[in-house]
Amino acid sequence: MRRKAEQRRQEKLPRALREFAQIQSPFSPWQVLSPDQVNDIHETGLRILAEIGVLMMDGGARQRLKAAGASIDDAEKRVFLPKELVEDALAQAPANFILHARDAEKSLAIGGANINFATAGGASYYSDLQTGRRPATFEDYTTLLQLAQVSGPVHLIDANVLAPPKRPALERNLHQFDQLLRYTDKAIICSLANAAIANNTLDQFGLAFGGRDQLDKPVVMGNLSINSALRFDQGSLQALDVFAQAKQPVIMSAYILAGAVSPVTLAGILAQQHAEVLAGIALAQLITPGTPMVYGHFSTNIELKSGVPAYGTPEGALLTAGAAQLARHCNLPYRASSGLNTAKDVDAQSAYETQMSLWPSIQAHSNVVMHGTGFLESGLVCSREKFMVDVETLGMMRAMQQGITVNEDTLAFDTIASVPPTGHFLNTEHTMARYQTAFYEPVISDRLGYGPWEAGGKFSTAQKADLVATQALAAYEAPTVDPAILDANREHVARRLETIER
């Protein structure tokens, strides 16, 4: 009865908003590099690792690499990885895997031509039309989890979709996963900042899968951000060790701001990024061979006149496609980002810069597309209205990836023959049979003329997005959770908070 009631509420939403479906692109991926250029960048990345090396700030990681054949300069904490070590490790990483959601129907294939959209992550500010821009709270966090759960085009939820700034990191992590267990059953991405957070993630989220010791399949995907240039912090390395020992998937993400922490040339950026990503993936395979890994790309340029990050740029688009080719060269799944922009409001700038990151992410066959909904102000803000505008855009992209079906029925020769010249097709059986499904049904776009728009209140895009968000929240219903899991979760949170307070 509960599921039927939920279905009735969701049926009031536009079809594009309520339907959950994974995307598998039927098109060839965009290629901006020739095979020879890909190989040149790959070999340069390996040369960087062998001759320049990377800083590994954790002694355990350095010793593990040394035992596998790497050279170590302990004084500088620099590791030099020979080509053979890296290539042997890459051969252990799977080309694809399944990320299991609590609702099995929402589990995701990662790799190949599969495209999965995630929410934004990392914002410490929240904005909406009612309250404006302000520090995020856990009430705001709940709102975004509910919107993500209801929104069909959203496949993955970043546990850090909001990072309320007034809580210590581990305490915040406890409350985030408490809410994730309660409010969504979609697949989850989490941040790998340190071992304490990584361990808590597996302990707490593992409750939904029978306990941490029962995690025999990928159930939560970590995202590790490399401290470019060519440095891995101790905390992230120890978090990687935790996840790799549990054989949980990790996105190895290089965050490069070109001109600040890398060369300004696109080939140089890709070579440095490639070296950083491969070093992290090699280490993970030495910890536990076969650990699922995702080649992570989050690189863009800075504004050289001011030094600020620039998102939604043509250079960023080319880097997204080029990095995807390098990931395929290594037979690895790939992560990119959409939704990126530096706009301060839900305006034209936020739209066109978002498109400059969304299109290349899809055309490059990005298996995990982070920052897909709500990203504003270079990621400092997650906006409720931008969230819904992005859901609209992702729904459009999902529809486009269905391609064109060509068969006797879709060619519609008999229907064309039945309508005289200058006639219309609205009342034909062919049209009526497809009336509700032939074209994308917009969530926010207003396609009526000026008169009806004026009579309806002259809503701006942001105002319409606000209305749709309210409608979506009204349709939300929390997923069913075993009361024993909620009880165990409450005990876990209380116990860990008591430890933190001491």
Residues 311, 105: Cα–Cα separation, whole Å: 34
Query: Is residue 3 pLDDT above 90, yes or no?
Result: no
d(CA 226, CA 354): 24
pLDDT at 13: 81
Average confidence score pLDDT of the chain = 94
| Full-model pTM | 0.95
Q: What's the CA gap between 50 and 341, in Å, rounded?
A: 36
Integer Cα distance of 86 and 84 in angstroms: 5
Residue 27: C-alpha distances to residues 212, 322, 447 (Å): 39, 17, 29
How do residues 186-203 score in pLDDT, each as one tens digit?
999 999 999 999 999 999
The two three-digit tokens of residue 46, written as one number: 């390996």
pLDDT bucket at 502, cuts 50 / 70 / 90? low
Q: Tens digit of pLDDT for each residue in 103-156?
A: 999 999 999 999 999 999 999 999 999 999 999 999 999 999 999 999 999 999
Distances (CA, A) of 399 to 148, 152, 154, 220, 463: 19, 12, 13, 27, 24
Alpha-carbon distances, residue 188 vs 18, 24, 100, 369, 387 (angstroms): 19, 20, 9, 13, 17
Q: pLDDT by residue (tens digit) across 335-390?
A: 999 999 999 999 999 999 999 999 999 999 999 999 999 999 999 999 999 999 99
Question: What would the DSSP string read from start to end of 303-333?
Answer: -TTT--EE-S-HHHHHHHHHHHHHHHHTT--
Residue 152 has a pLDDT of: 96
CA 390 to CA 35: how far, in whole Å? 34
Reported confidence tier of residue 16, pLDDT bands at 50, 70, 90: confident
Q: How many CA atoms lie within 13 A of 351 on its CB side?
A: 10
Q: Yes or no: say if 223 and 249 are a contact pair by the CB < 8 Å rule.
A: no
Reading the block at residue 487, the tokens are 């009880």
C-alpha–C-alpha distance, residues 59 and 64, integer Å: 9
Instruction: Please give the radius of gyration of the chain, using alpha carbons only, rounded to the nearest integer.
Output: 24
User: What whole-number percentage of the chain has pLDDT above 90?
Assistant: 90
Instruction: Give 193-250 as a DSSP string.
Output: --HHHHHHHHHHHGGGGT-GGG--S---EEEEEE-SSSEE-HHHHHHHHHHHHTT--E
Distances (CA, A) of 154 to 147, 151, 184, 243, 321: 9, 6, 12, 24, 22
Amino acid 429 reads: E
Domains and CATH numbers, the chain: 2-29+91-400 (3.20.20.480)
Phi, psi torsion values for 158, nearest 5 degrees:
-80, 120
11 pLDDT above the threshold of 70: no
Query: Cβ distance 365 to 109 under 8 Å?
Result: no
Give the tens place of pLDDT for each residue, 288-330: 999 999 999 999 999 898 989 999 999 999 999 999 999 999 9
Taking each continuous run of H as one helix and of E as one strand, the counts in the chain are: 19, 22
**7: pLDDT strictly greater than 80:** no
pLDDT category of residue 97 using cuts at 50, 70 and 90 = very high
Give residue 17's pLDDT.
85
Collapse the DSSP code of 31 into the 3-class scheme (helix H, G, I; strand E, B; otherwise coil) and give the result. Answer: coil
Q: Which of 5-19, 134-148, 409-423 has the lowest mean pLDDT?
A: 5-19
- Band the pLDDT of 85: cuts 50, 70, 90: very high
Question: What's the average model confidence in pLDDT over 411-427?
Answer: 96
CB within 8 A of 116, min separation 6: which ones? 22, 23, 108, 110, 155, 156, 187, 367, 368, 369
pLDDT given for residue 27 in this prediction: 97
Q: Kindly tell me if the per-residue pLDDT of 35 is higher than 90.
A: yes
Q: 264 in helix, strand or coil? A: coil
CB-CB contact of 172 with 163 (8 Å)? yes
What integer pLDDT is reported at residue 454 of this predicted model? Answer: 94
The answer to whether residues 97 and 248 touch, using CB atoms and an 8 Å cutoff, is no
C-alpha distances in angstroms, 37 versus 28, 32, 279, 329, 470?
19, 9, 21, 11, 49
